[in-house]
Amino acid sequence: MPAADAANAIEVHGLRKTFGDFVAVNSIDFNVGHGEIFGFLGPNGSGKTTTIRMLCGVIAPTDGGARVMGYDVCAESERVRENIGYMSQKFSLFQDLTVDENLKFYAGVYGLSDEKFAERREYILTMADLHGRETEMTGDLSVGWKQRLALGCATIHEPRLIFLDEPTSGVDPMARRQFWELLHDLAASGVTLFVTTHYMDEATHCNRLAFIYRGDIIAEGTPNEVKGALMRDTILQVEVDDGEGALAALEGSPGIGEAYMQGALLHVNIGERTAAEADLPGLLGPLGFDVRSVEPVEPTLEDAFVHLVTSQKGAST
């Protein structure tokens, strides 16, 4: 059971981790409330997984500390691990075991009684829609089915806090949507979810977010609060015949804050100017590009993240 005095599910104070001279996580602070879906976003190598490993009591911080479900991650790491679930992008499943055998293994790890295992097994098979697949080899399942089974294994002991490290990496869009429906059901039952992802569209499912970049948290808040960093900026969505070429042409152009591809379209931050003032067709047309449309759009979380990272790079130069 969680410690009785746990005001938050997670409390992080000055958490720092170095490997030799490399600073993986740089004295970060944040709290996660009970029952929240908390998104921890950042590019590969930004410190997301290192942070999770410290919060799970797997590796010790170099400095600072954290409490998870009321327990100190350094002094009470065993109690921390008893009270959390963990799901990685590799799913931590035994490929040469059946669905049922994987469930039995994790039930044994957490010391579930036969009666409790029977109860949790039925719940997980229903939750994950795995009825009829109990004897299938896990290695033969599709990525989407493995993902559901991994979530079942991570929650078999009914933890009130689950860490999910890139849980939808490599999963098709339909399976990703179905998986998030399962996560919302868990959150509705009071379970706290700490989710890392590089899919910005998934971040909109979170109650609150933190962006980590090169070991530092550069923004924190609700999705709308994070997008508020772009409140005064105009974001233009540009359809052009050669997006990558146009992107290269815009780099370093006066008045262009950021330019980047978002799918097949080009997003351009022109600061506080209007589309007419920026005149992208007039800028790109003479360079041989066919600009088919230019329209202002509401900033997305990806727009906000690019802006924050660009600002961070500028401040460090």
Question: For residue 223, what are its two tokens?
Answer: 């999705």
Tens digit of each residue's pLDDT (9 = 90 or more) over 198-223: 778 888 889 999 999 999 999 999 99
pLDDT band at residue 305 using 50, 70 and 90 as cut-offs: confident
Please state, in angstroms and rounded to a whole number, the distance separating the CA atoms of residues 163 and 1: 17
Distance of CA 34 to the CA centre of its chain: 18
Nearest Cα neighbor of 193 from 100, 139, 203, 104 is 203
Does this model's pTM top 0.85? My answer is yes
Domain 10-226 carries which CATH code?
A: 3.40.50.300
Highest mean pLDDT among 164-173, 179-188, 225-234: 179-188
Beta strands in 75-150 (DSSP E): 84-88
Q: Where in the chain is the domain with CATH 3.40.50.300?
A: 10-226
The number of residues making up the chain comes to 317
Q: Where in the chain is the domain with CATH 3.30.70.100?
A: 234-298
Place of tokens 């009470």: 76
Please state, in angstroms and rounded to a whole number, the distance separating the CA atoms of residues 186 and 184: 5
Tens digit of each residue's pLDDT (9 = 90 or more) over 6-55: 789 999 999 999 999 999 999 999 999 999 999 999 888 899 999 999 99
Please state, in angstroms and rounded to a whole number, the distance separating the CA atoms of residues 81 and 78: 5
Burial of 156 (0-12, 13-18, 19+ CB in 10 A): buried
Q: What angle do CA 27, 208, 257 make, to 5 degrees?
A: 75
Please state, in angstroms and rounded to a whole number, the distance separating the CA atoms of residues 179 and 116: 25
Tens digit of each residue's pLDDT (9 = 90 or more) over 230-277: 778 899 999 999 999 999 999 888 888 889 998 899 999 998 899 999
Question: For residue 200, what are its two tokens?
Answer: 């910005």
* Structure confidence at residue 4 (pLDDT): 47
Q: What is the crossing angle of helices 143-154 and 99-109, to 10°?
A: 20
Tell the CATH topology of 234-298: Alpha-Beta Plaits (3.30.70)
Beta strands in the chain (DSSP E): 10-19, 22-32, 37-41, 63-68, 71-72, 84-88, 161-165, 192-197, 208-213, 216-221, 235-240, 258-262, 265-269, 291-297
Residue 297 has pLDDT above 90, yes or no: yes
Nearest Cα neighbor of 120 from 136, 105, 107 is 107
Tens digit of each residue's pLDDT (9 = 90 or more) over 62-88: 999 999 999 999 999 999 999 999 998
Give the mean pLDDT of the chain.
Answer: 91
Please state, in angstroms and rounded to a whole number, the distance separating the CA atoms of residues 103 and 98: 9
Q: Is the dihedral of CA 306, 175, 187, 118 positive or negative?
A: negative
